Structure 1
Amino acid sequence: MSVKRENIEKWSGLYNCLKYYVDFSLNCYYRITTVGKEKPDLKEPLIFVGNHQNALIDNLAILSLYNWQPVFLARSDIFKNKLHARILTFLKMLPIFRIRDGFSALQENDAIFKKTIDVLQNHNGLVIMPEGNHLGKRRLRRLKKGVARIAFQAEEALESKMGIKIIPVGFDYSDYKTVGSTLLINIGEPVEVAPFIDLYCNNPAQAYNALLQEVSEAMKNVMLHIEDDSHYDEVFTLAELSLIRYKLNNKKVSDPEGFNVKKKRIGELEELNKNSPGGYESLIEKTKSFNTFLQKNKLKPAELLTVNTSMLWTVIQSLILLVTFPVFAFSFVNLILPLALTRYASSRFPDHHFIASVRLVVGLVTFPVFFILQTILFGIISGSLLHTLAYFVTLPLSAIFVFHWREQFYLLRSKFKVLAMRIFKPKKFRQLINGINL
């Protein structure tokens, strides 16, 4: 079935095929762990709300959760081009109009809200990023009223018989744009709309605020939330350092475990700020100095995990990378065209939080297209069907090998930096150790 706005809630076979491919690609880009998948009952009318940090990736992360076809609400300006609007509608996205779009445009929301009722009744799942736009920070901003308005108006239209629940989803990225970064998807406890309906009937404005407050708290429970925005960088560094210390003392740390370590540390810092502002400010100043130290020495917090590295193991890893370099070079040459195109496309966006989204979307097209073209060219040159098939198989394997080789190379480079500091600059190395223990 072709997807149009009037039937957007209906199941689409073509969309489902595309979804499998996108889900696979997303899981190639990020190492994804999901917690709480069992909490929502997909047979109920559900609105999923996520903390919006990483452009399109946040929506794709929610899409990947289940074998389903949810409908997404997005800002209206991306629908202005007719071709774009058709593509976005096929991708099961509906526009939501804001005051800045003009009063006449706002009136179009009535039709959109009616369509969301169809979506909820059909149990598709409705997905909204209630902060309105993305921001690459681990903090929840003030929620827009759209999610509350949709929930209450849907309940009102059906005489409070729907039983809508709002599902908080938290995202925690180890890095927003780097391939192979971890992504933890945390699904929280549902927030029921029903307890707020009486208040809505008497005072809609109060009901909006009360529901949004509860949704906001539910979202903060499943994400990292740094309240002190003026010292955001320092608090985030301290949270990262707490995880580094934990990893140095524990052999294997799962992503949910690491998330809890950072969340606990952020909570401790909030308590310190309340109970001992002077002690908090002193710690912040020390962390500022340590961040400056890291910048001067071109170190990232994650590289501090290599402080206990042995010289022997570092040499062995160097030899392994040296021996396998010809395989890396062959693999990289085979990937250079699609890699170059995806990087060029992402470089055209001034907002660097679009980088992963653009690379993923462009890569969905460029990699299979170039794999096919290169295989055809190889077949013409070689004249051997067997060799051509073998070459085609090596292409996706090359992508896997390049990723892992590159990952190990950067890890080895970090080890050498820290080892060099430990051997040749012991004073700086002591500063490094002291910083880890902040």
Structure 2
Amino acid sequence: KKMLYNILRYIVIVTVKIFFNSIYTKNLDQLPKSGALIIAPNHPSTFLDPLVISVWLDRPIYFLTNGGAFSSPFKKWLYTKLFMIPIYRQQDSKEGIDSANQNEQAFDNCYDMLAQGKVIIIFPEGTSENERRLRKIKTGLARIALGAEAKYDFKLNVKIACVGINYTNPRKFQSKLFVNFTKPILATDYQEKYKNDSREAVKEMTSLISEKLESLIVITPDEKADKLVRKIEILYSNRLQKNLNLSSDQTEQIFTIGQYISDAVKYYQEKNNQRVVDLDDKIEKYFLLLKKEKIRDKTVLKIADKKQVIRKLLKYIPQLLIILPLYIYGLIHNYLPFILPGIVAKKATPYAVFRGPINLVTGIFTFVSFYLIYCTIFFLFTKNILLTIIYFISLPISGYLTFYYWNYLLRVFESIRLFFIFEKGQNTYELRKMRDNIIEELEKIKEEYLNS
């Protein structure tokens, strides 16, 4: 059981580090290395979140999982081997099945595991949504932590480690990840309160968990505000990084700036909402024009005239031609294992929130399977172990190269489009003017906000 878990964990570690372009952790040293521990993260990306958490703990983690997943003897066997514990929601229970009774058994299992000094991950929001907001924290986690202590006379020293998981885009390959840890909550701090009033103790701990999680993640007021914040991040993050003397290569700063912008948007929504509406309208029109011309904001910012576009093309094209044979080699070997997970994810669910995790998990198996097939065929032809090892090493390297080559190629196409935009003239001037006006407005808002 433990061997299967460890094998899968090492595969997950490699996969997570490949999937994300940049991973940054803060206060990882606060995570206890031994003893009874409940990990309490936010839950923005279904299956991906527990995989991300498992990377940082060098001991098995037990997962509370929706009991509906244990729907067949095989699934029950497999999920048990993967350290999953079924938990049942009343709305998911089948007719004639007592979810409360089943959960009492699940809670007892958790108590005993904590008594053995094990680690359990519980997502206290209960559900997963790909949004930058914290949903209402359920009381189940506090009930398990305090119930375990009460059962063993408050001698377990159970700790609750709140963890903030922040993605730039959990569905996008080579996006950024920031995992934010903090000092654990001690269940024993609630001993007297629990003995006098168990419900009030559970309520207080749940409230503290909510407060800690809010401090560890980027939170936007609502979906519309979140879209505005993301666009302002694209337009204004680099400028803010320079103004605030933040290093551009630190993933944490991306999320610091995101929260800074979100707080400012929330402030002006309450103080002068019409100003937010007008700014949103300007930014929306600018991004619609970018979409129409199929170019990025970064390109509008960096390229000033047609001559600069030509210089860029003269730089790009020879480099692309030199690397073209390696690109073709990588494309032949990596296209199918790369494209299949996306197809599987789209077929498996209509919900975008599930597609990123399904993509990642499926990708583990497609790449491993295809690489093994390629190497088996290669060895059968060559009968040479050393050459087969070299060939195997070349596969992931060529995959990376192919991915970056394709992105480089997209920049060339973008530069060609920009060349013709400069030829037309009008939209170039309009984009520049619109962007300058937006930045000028953001500068005014920033100064007012800092002085408020």
1:366 aligns with 2:366: yes
Aligned mates of 1:39, 1:206 — CA distance in 2? 27
Cα deviations across residues 374-393 of structure 1 (Å, max 9, x unaligned)? 23323444566665454333
**Residue number among 105, 108, 122 corresponding to 2:102 in the alignment:** 108
Cα deviations across residues 122-156 of structure 1 (Å, max 9, x unaligned)? 33321111112211111111112211211121122
| CA shift in 2, pair 1:296/1:51, >3 Å | farther
1:245-256 equivalent positions in 2, closer than 5 A? 245-246=239-240, 252-256=248-252
**Residue number among 27, 36, 44 corresponding to 1:45 in the alignment:** 36
Note the C-alpha offset of 1:406: 2.5
1:401 aligns with 2:401: yes
- The residue aligned with 1:319 is 318
| Structure 1 residue ranges without an equivalent (≥5) | 3-11
Cα deviations across residues 194-228 of structure 1 (Å, max 9, x unaligned)? 34444444444433332222111111111111123
1:66-215 equivalent positions in 2, closer than 5 A? 66-102=57-93, 104-215=98-209
User: Which deviates the most, 167-176 or 233-242?
Assistant: 233-242
CA contact (8 A) 1:130 1:147 kept: yes
- The residue aligned with 2:263 is 267
| CA shift in 2, pair 1:161/1:370, >3 Å | same
| CA shift in 2, pair 1:306/1:21, >3 Å | farther
CA contact (8 A) 1:244 1:436 kept: no
One-letter amino acid of the counterpart of residue 374, structure 2 = Q
Aligned mates of 2:37, 2:299 — CA distance in 1? 41
| Structure 2 residue ranges without an equivalent (≥5) | 443-452
CA contact (8 A) 1:189 1:218 kept: no
Cα deviations across residues 317-371 of structure 1 (Å, max 9, x unaligned)? 3331232122111210112332343232122121222223222222222222222
- The residue aligned with 1:427 is 430
Aligned mates of 1:418, 1:265 — CA distance in 2? 30
CA contact (8 A) 1:371 1:395 kept: yes
Secondary structure, counterpart of 1:108 in structure 2:
helix
Note the C-alpha offset of 1:39: 0.9
Secondary structure, counterpart of 1:148 in structure 2:
helix
One-letter amino acid of the counterpart of residue 154, structure 2 = S
CA contact (8 A) 2:23 2:251 kept: no
1:1-12 equivalent positions in 2, closer than 5 A? 2=1, 12=2
Aligned mates of 2:188, 2:299 — CA distance in 1? 48
Secondary structure, counterpart of 1:160 in structure 2:
coil
| CA shift in 2, pair 1:431/1:13, >3 Å | same
| CA shift in 2, pair 1:43/1:371, >3 Å | closer
| CA shift in 2, pair 1:400/1:239, >3 Å | closer
- The residue aligned with 2:11 is 21
- TM-score, length basis structure 1: 0.87
One-letter amino acid of the counterpart of residue 150, structure 1 = I
Aligned mates of 1:28, 1:212 — CA distance in 2? 35
- The residue aligned with 1:335 is 334
- The share of aligned pairs that are identical, in percent, is 23
One-letter amino acid of the counterpart of residue 258, structure 1 = I
CA contact (8 A) 1:188 1:219 kept: no
Note the C-alpha offset of 1:293: 4.2
One-letter amino acid of the counterpart of residue 6, structure 2 = N
| CA shift in 2, pair 1:411/1:63, >3 Å | farther
- TM-score, length basis structure 2: 0.85
Note the C-alpha offset of 1:267: 1.7
1:238 aligns with 2:232: yes
Q: Tell me how large the CA RMSD over aligned residues is.
A: 2.7
Aligned mates of 1:154, 1:374 — CA distance in 2? 51
Secondary structure, counterpart of 1:307 in structure 2:
helix
Note the C-alpha offset of 1:181: 1.1
| CA shift in 2, pair 1:215/1:108, >3 Å | same
Aligned mates of 1:199, 1:293 — CA distance in 2? 59
Note the C-alpha offset of 1:28: 0.8
| CA shift in 2, pair 1:119/1:405, >3 Å | farther
Cα deviations across residues 216-252 of structure 1 (Å, max 9, x unaligned)? 1111111111123453322333344332433577773
Note the C-alpha offset of 1:254: 0.9
CA contact (8 A) 1:306 1:414 kept: no
Cα deviations across residues 56-104 of structure 1 (Å, max 9, x unaligned)? 1111010001212111111111111221222111111111111113461
CA contact (8 A) 1:46 1:165 kept: yes
Aligned mates of 2:420, 2:196 — CA distance in 1? 69
